[in-house]
Amino acid sequence: MFCFKYNSASQMDHSKMNHNHNPEMGHAGHNHQAMIDDFRKRFYVVLVLTVPIMLLSPMIQHFIGVSWQFPGSTYILFALSTVVFLYGGWPFLTGWLQEIKEKNPGMMFLIGFAISVAYLYSSVVVFGLAGVDFFWELTTLILIMLLGHWIEMKSVAGASKELELLVQLMPDDAHKVQGDKVEDVKTSLLVKDDVVLIKPGERVAADGIILEGEAYLNESMLTGESKPVARQKGAKVIAGSINGNSAFKITVSHTAKDSYLSQVIKLVDDAQRSKSQTQLLADTAAKWLTVIALVSGILTFAYWYITGQSFAFAMERMVTVIVICCPHALGLAVPLVVAKSTALSAKNGLLIKNRQEFENSRKITTIVFDKTGTLTIGKFEVSKTVSLNSHYSENEIIRFSAALEQNSQHPIATGILQKAKDLSIALTPVKDFNALTGKGVKGTIEGKEVMMVSPGYLKENDISIPEGFAASDTETFGFLLIDNDLIGYVALSDEIRPESFDAIRILKQNNIKSILLTGDNKTVAASVCKTLEMESFIAEVLPEQKLQKIKELQNAGEFVAMTGDGVNDAPALAQADIGIAVGSGSDIAAETAGIVLVNSNPKDIVNLVLFGKATHKKMIQNLIWATGYNVIALPLAAGVLYNQGILLSPAIGAVLMTCSSVIVAINASLLKVDATGKGN
């Protein structure tokens, strides 16, 4: 027994993919395919039975001018039609009963009601009631409905093909290293701190850290980044990415269920299940359409019967109206677009945690950008080291700075540590390390209190900036304090990403303002703002001040999207109309952001905005088609043009209803994100 019920609350379980790492997902995936196969089998059985039913139908014989009546032919017609009704109509009958049980009448209720009325009336005619049966209409109606459901189920499955591909990225087996031996084990059995060998051309078996070797990894299916990325010892790797030509070993970071890929699949599944205002609108419209179909069908029957038409004619009109008004296309209109857009987003490194925020991206008037790592490459390089104390050489400035920064994750720390490595400077242990949010870091080194701070910290604490110091419009400065004495400073430079220029340009073309919000100094911020031709900049702000800046923009009437790292920027991300966590890599647990971008590429932010617009556009197109079709088809089904010779049969009504659903499915499947960030 199969009942494939379409409604927006349960369009299909997108997590139910054929996934051999998750028995439940695999079982459900097979169930869905079994349902498709079942509809196909029922369709072919009914197709074979349709031929003798058509030939034995008195009305069809009258149309073609022949008479094949013989004793018992009416009962054979009844028997064949009963098989079609019970076997071919079974999914619709069970669906009808289920919707009655749930007190939620919808498409299955309408179809089940229509075919039951047609069958019962025709059966009574066979056994003595004066009238004409329409077994052939019943048979063709069921035949077309089975075909329509078969096609639509395949379309729904196709809408989640991208997600299924994500599910299949995880390899079945992993090469676990145990001493001098390598043993093949199931990926699902890997645990934290296991060592795994990744051979050339294989997929990475688990999230982890490179222990030995280096590689170029293709992460395009996970992040949307088309170019292979270099990963060296100590770098993070993501499960499912494809290794290049060299072997390397990784230390597993966590189990498969906690992997980046598993989190992505869960996010996509959750997003596909969540309802936005657009989908709630479609739900409401579908429920009203069900009521309208029933009322219209009854009124149509009453009108034609009272005005003198035969009982059979009035019954046929009622059945046609009910069938043609099934809210099938309306029920598919939004969920299919949701399934397609969330899966496509995940493939392109756009992870949707809040469905409503994604659809609201079309309303954005201002995007607030972080600078470091988003608009700039985020790879700081030491451009200058200056000692202000004769007891400390430039190398000593780097030694203390690098020792202090070894516990920091900030891009500036990375640049200083790289400089120490280039100079072969050994790092001294640091004690009592503490990060001063938005101001710098401090700790104890060799018994001294050491601080690496921003120019803003010097101003706040009335520490004189050294003579001859001149702020550069391309450099960021870190000042070294030892026991509260200013010892020297390090200048670091960061390049603007090439993609930033296109991103800001495309936003301007779409009338979206871009504002730079950074804790860096005003000179650097002004330079970046001017170079990229952004609207304005706000510099030297602490994380807690960013929230206030977002409020000020909102109070000015702007619909604001905020980009941030999801940690220091959490208050501002929560305050913004749309919070976008960027540069999260394999960590996608940015609770305050509704959307997570795997990469820090500003082009991805443009992709997000334009794809959000395209997704909403597809939803509206589908809703317009689904409702517009009913506005036109219902009167024709009721027979308003009967006197002009235009009359739709139940079978033609079923064809039109199926076509409307298929058109909606095809339109949803055309949604895509191209390389320029223009959603279609």
Q: Extract the tokens encoding 425.
A: 């400077």
The conformation of residue 520, written as its DSSP 8-state character, comes to S
The answer for residues whose C-beta is within 8 angstroms of residue 373's C-beta and 6 or more apart is 411, 565, 582, 583, 600
Q: Which of 323, 279, 141 is nearest to 668 (CA)?
A: 279
CA distance to 358, 364, 546, 615, 643, per residue, from 612 (Å): 6, 10, 25, 5, 48
> How far apart are the C-alpha atoms of 304 and 294, rounded to whole Å?
16
Q: Helix, strand or coil for residue 274?
A: coil
* CA torsion, ordered 515, 518, 522, 523, to nearest 10 deg: -90
- The 3-class SS string of 606-628 reads HHHHHHHHHHHHHHHHHHHHHHH
Matching residue, tokens 């000593």 = 396
The strand pair at 195-198 and 173-178 is best described as antiparallel
The answer for residues whose C-beta is within 8 angstroms of residue 143's C-beta and 6 or more apart is 43, 46, 47, 50, 84, 88
Matching residue, tokens 């390089």 = 381
> How far apart are the C-alpha atoms of 224 and 343, rounded to whole Å?
12
* CA torsion, ordered 224, 228, 232, 234, to nearest 10 deg: 10
> How far apart are the C-alpha atoms of 223 and 231, rounded to whole Å?
15
> If residue 475 lies in a helix (H) or strand (E), which one and from where to where?
strand 475-482
Interhelix angle 328-347/650-669, nearest 10 degrees: 20
CA distance to 401, 522, 604, per residue, from 676 (Å): 41, 31, 10
> How far apart are the C-alpha atoms of 85 and 141, rounded to whole Å?
10
Q: Extract the tokens encoding 178.
A: 């145990």
| Catalytic position from the list 283, 370, 520, 577 | 370
The answer for residues whose C-beta is within 8 angstroms of residue 246's C-beta and 6 or more apart is 200, 213, 214, 215, 216
- The yes-or-no answer on residue 370 being catalytic is yes
> How far apart are the C-alpha atoms of 639 and 320, rounded to whole Å?
10
Name the phi and psi angles at 45, rounded to 5. Answer: -65, -45
- The 3-class SS string of 277-320 reads HHHHHHHHHHHHHHHHHHHHHHHHHHHHHHCCCCHHHHHHHHHH
> How far apart are the C-alpha atoms of 130 and 125, rounded to whole Å?
6
- Active-site positions read 370
